[in-house]
Amino acid sequence: MAMNRRDALKSVVLMMGGTMVGANAILTGCTPEKQIEGLDFSPEEIAFLDEIGDTIIPTTDTPGAKATGIGAFMVMMVKDTYWEEEQKEFVDGLNALRSGFKSEVGKDFMKASQEERTEYLNKLNATVNDENGPKYFRMLKDLTVLGYFSSEIGATQALNYVEVPGRWEPCIDYKKGDKAYAI
């Protein structure tokens, strides 16, 4: 999978436009009225989410998604901003990913190599827009990108971060390889 940073930024922009699952709760500040009661994730499930996130945004010259605690971020977002049917789709999707990976690759996702994980997630990604494609995978990608780029690591190391900008500069020359600016 190894989403490049530029694609990830495009996803963040799309998410900021309110197209992601749970955006309504984020934008309005209201918790959905109907959610799964007692929904909780075990430490093993959070570690699984960390590994999925780290496959989507791996460590390069900057830390990957796992270093940001992406699993705990996803859990918080699913529990606080997803409606019941979205929560169910997310949980069912995690189970489908786990069993599908084991069935296809022959081992547990947690014990697989980065290459095996990447190859499998790329296959899922290729079908995410199909009518019967894995919609939960879009949730995983959106949450990974949002969590990563809104974290301290993502904002200060993957993006160009200016803590206190001195003035408004509407046009800045771009030099190949420059990082996008943190919001």
The pLDDT score that the predictor gives to residue 31 is 75
**The two three-digit tokens of residue 137, written as one number:** 């995978």
**The two three-digit tokens of residue 157, written as one number:** 């190391």
The maximal CA–CA distance of the chain, rounded, in angstroms, is: 56
The CB-side HSE value for 175 (13 A sphere, CA atoms) comes to 2
Lowest-pLDDT range, 24-38, 74-88, 153-167?
24-38
More confident residue, 2 or 39: 39
- Round to whole Å and give the CA distance between 176 and 173: 10
Q: What is the pLDDT of residues 27-48, one digit of tens each?
A: 666 677 888 888 999 999 999 9
Q: What is the pLDDT of residues 95-151, one digit of tens each?
A: 999 999 999 999 999 999 999 999 999 999 999 889 888 999 999 999 999 999 999
Q: What percent of the chain has pLDDT over 70?
A: 83
Residue-averaged pLDDT of the chain: 86
| Secondary structure class of 181 (helix, strand, coil) | strand
More confident residue, 163 or 81: 81
What's the predicted TM-score (pTM) here? 0.80
- Round to whole Å and give the CA distance between 135 and 129: 8
DSSP characters over 39-82: ----HHHHHHHHHHHHHHS--SSS--GGGGTHHHHHHHHHHHH-
